[in-house]
Amino acid sequence: MPLSAGPTAPGYGALLLRGLLAGLIAGLLAGVFAYTVGEPNVDAAIAIEEAAAGGDHHGDEAAVSRDGQRAGLFLATGLYGAAMGGLLATAYTLLRRRLRTPSDTRAALGLAGAALLGIVIVPFLKYPPNPPAVGDPATINQRTISYLALLVIGLVAVWAAVVAARTQQVEWRQAAGAAAAFLVVAGIGYALLPRIDEVGSDFPPSLLWNFRIASLGTQAVLWSVLGLAFAALLTARRPAAQPHREAVSS
């Protein structure tokens, strides 16, 4: 009898479910990191804000109490992670055939790493997040638009790096071309977008630094776990290869 065709590749729906599950896992773990490392910095920043206001006004003005915000942190990171997992699965579906690797694991990790670089690290270096006590509400629209513009530029920079690498045949030239293209595009974005610095000189530098590192760490945990979990689910979808033998008629 003929050899069996083997397991068929899953459709977009199956990949999307895997991405959502991987994203949910990544989001919850990122929430644990944010709660453990980031929340003490948020509390310290709120205490500074309340001291500057001359009393405890944060709890009166906030629509959600701090306890509610802490509980909602895991819901927020879980939903965000699931959304990013869906986007990763979509990108994998659209770009898998263009990725020059036979390994699903490398493809998944490569896409997650590109996302971390383009939509997290590039905007972070220009517009790092600030704790609650920092920022002028009047500039929130400008800050949001500038951040989103730089996010798009970060993705374009990653794309330019990939294109530049593929124009070269030698490995060191591929690396050099990718780095040059990425830095040129990101540098142009940094130069064109406005500088926004609303941190007062009286705000503790160590607290600001710790808050920003915790924010970056949360994103790093999310995308690292997302890439690993999605790769694991992609690998698990295929049963171990079994040798096929033709039936011999007696």
Q: Decide if 16 contacts 87 (C-beta within 8 A).
A: no
Does 119 share its domain with 29?
Answer: yes
User: How many structural domains are present in the chain?
Assistant: 2
Q: Rounded to the nearest 10 degrees, what angle do helices 66-95 and 39-53 cross at?
A: 130
Q: What is the pLDDT of residues 161-175, one digit of tens each?
A: 999 999 988 889 999
Half-sphere exposure of 16 (CA within 13 A, CB side): 7
- 130 and 212 together in one domain: yes
Q: Is residue 193 part of a domain?
A: yes
Could you tell me if residue 4 is inside a domain? no
Same domain, 141 and 170: yes
Q: 47 and 146 in one domain?
A: no
CA 29 from chain centre, in angstroms, equals 13
Q: Which residue has the higher pLDDT, 120 or 143?
A: 120
Whether residue 242 lies inside any domain: the answer is no
Alpha-carbon distance of 101 to 51, in angstroms, equals 56
Structure tokens at 10: 């899953």
pTM of the model: 0.82
Q: Are 145 and 171 part of one and the same domain?
A: yes
Contacts of 132 (CB under 8 A, 6+ apart): 42, 45, 46, 49
Q: Is residue 3 part of a domain?
A: no
As a whole number of angstroms, the distance between CA 130 and CA 197 comes to 10
Q: What is the largest CA-CA distance in the chain?
A: 95
Structure confidence at residue 247 (pLDDT): 43
Residues 31, 114, single domain; the answer is yes
Provide the residue range defining the domain that includes 156. Answer: 137-198
